[in-house]
Structure 1
Amino acid sequence: MTQTRIETIALTDGSDMRVTVAEPEDTLRGGLVLLHDSSGVDERLNGLVAALAVEGWLTVAPHLTPSPGARQDAEQTTPEDHDGDSGVADAGQQVLGDVDAVSVWLVDKGVQADQIGLLGFGFGGVAAFTVAATRSVGAVVSVGAGGIIEPVTPGMAPLADLAAELSCPWLGIYGDQDSDVPVDQVEKLREAAAGAQVAIDVVSFAEEGHRFDEDQDAAAEAWQRTLNWFDAHLR
């Protein structure tokens, strides 16, 4: 069974960030950055890190600076995950810097930049979308990403404003019953993203809310769509 481990990455500001890592046992296909939601790095996320490694991806989940609305407990991301961070006024830029550091780490491990993908949930999905519009990566998947009309935090523009700037294939997965992300806003994002010059897909599940793991069938379909997206665009 594929195991996860925790490593430490040095950041440019002199602080350290913990990351959860899992490596494929066979051929390396590329690298994936897994960005958590407000639940932090928990058992569910660790399971996803391991599952993606089984599919052949060197997978790394940074223990991000707490996102807006984040909750913490003994088993989740803690302030010590960002050693030396005494509170960041601009959480958006901090998270983007964290993703940059992880991308460099993957390149140092032998992964080409165009073989790096991002998978983000909630606030992590917002960060992943922002990376897709402002950095050079291979492909991105966002699940339940809000901040479509109004920014979720300083340093991150509304996704609808960034959509035309998407520079890599992006897949958005949403639940129509998600009270945090109204259906009409998802449709506005779909329309805005249509102007991008890359492959775009927005998939909505009529009966699902913010969490897909509560419905096995929906979770299985969302998982397969995610794998297919990376299979198609990270080569």
Structure 2
Amino acid sequence: MTQTRTETLLLTDGSELRCTVAEPDGVVRGGLVLLHEARGVTDAVRGLATSLAEEGWLTVAPHLYHRDGDDEQIDSDDDHRVADKVSRLSGDSVLADTDAAFAWLAQQGVAADRMGIVGFGLGGSVALVVAASRTLGAAVTISGGGIVAPLSEGLPSLVEVAGELTCPWLGIYSDAVKAIPAEDVAKLRDAAAGSGVATDVVRYPGPVEGEGEQDPAAVSDAWQRTLNWFDAHLR
């Protein structure tokens, strides 16, 4: 089974960015930047990194909370700390971190048109923001909130930037997530459609992400759609 490891990257501002990395055992098909949920780099994030690597994708997950000097996983019942961490994120900070992750992939020999980005929860939102600001091969958002009202003062709302997408983007959402209303997802779909690149939004009745109860059929279908999206666009 593929194992994850930690790499430390030096940023231009002098700070250090830790990244969780999973490397394929065989041929590398391309590289993916994986963005973590609001609680940080959880076991679910590491498991997803491993699964992507087993599909041939060199995967790097930047720890986005490093600027606070504390980027460890947040306890599941510490909602106040989660909210505080999210509120400190900005467009500049997440772009600096993802730029470093993409640069690391380039140093490993991955071509720019074979790089993609994927995230779930908070990471799904950030993935769209990055895909609207940088030239990538493809992007996938899984249950990303902040569609109409931004997740933090430093981040834009997703409908605000979806029309600026620079690469094919897939959005995966669940009607079971009450914090993300179906009408907001519809607004995001319409905004993304105006970007001029290939976009798709898929909604499931059951949960497809997180560590709680999930709909196995929806999870399986969402996973296959994610793989197919990268297979189709990272060539």
Q: TM-score range by the shorter chain?
A: 0.7 to 0.9
Mapping 1:123-162, distance limit 5 Å: 123-162=122-161
Give CA deviations for 1:51-82 in whole Å, capped at 9, x if unaligned: 11111110011111179xx97149xxxxxxxx
Matched, 1:72 2:74: yes
Q: Distance in 1 between matches of 2:201 and 2:66?
A: 27
Q: Distance in 2 between matches of 1:153 and 1:114?
A: 30
Deviates more, 1:109-118 or 1:210-219: 210-219
Equivalent residues of 2:44, 2:210 under 8 A apart: no
Residue 110 of structure 1 corresponds to: 109
| Residue identity in the other structure for 1:55 | E
Equivalent residues of 1:31, 1:59 under 8 A apart: yes
Equivalent residues of 2:208, 2:222 under 8 A apart: no
Matched, 1:226 2:220: no
Matched, 1:28 2:38: no
Give the fraction of aligned pairs with identical amino acids, expressed as a percent. Answer: 53
| Residue identity in the other structure for 2:180 | V
SS in 1 for 2:103: helix
CA-CA distance at 1:210 after TM superposition = 5.8
CA-CA distance at 1:207 after TM superposition = 2.9
Equivalent residues of 1:177, 1:207 under 8 A apart: yes
Residue 119 of structure 2 corresponds to: 120
Gaps of 5+ in 1: 75-87
Q: Distance in 2 between matches of 1:233 and 1:145?
A: 21
Equivalent residues of 2:208, 2:215 under 8 A apart: no
Matched, 1:197 2:199: no
Q: TM-score under structure 1 normalisation?
A: 0.88
Q: Distance in 2 between matches of 1:5 and 1:52?
A: 14
Residue 164 of structure 1 corresponds to: 163
Equivalent residues of 2:150, 2:157 under 8 A apart: yes
Equivalent residues of 1:179, 1:210 under 8 A apart: no
CA-CA distance at 1:219 after TM superposition = 0.9
Give CA deviations for 1:89-142 in whole Å, capped at 9, x if unaligned: 553321221011101111111111111111111111111101111101110000
Q: Distance in 2 between matches of 1:108 and 1:203?
A: 34
Structure-2 change in CA distance of 1:6 and 1:111 (3 Å): same
Q: TM-score under structure 2 normalisation?
A: 0.88
Equivalent residues of 1:28, 1:56 under 8 A apart: yes
Deviates more, 1:91-100 or 1:21-30: 91-100
Give CA deviations for 1:136-159 in whole Å, capped at 9, x if unaligned: 111000011111111111332211
RMSD over equivalenced CA pairs, Å: 2.4
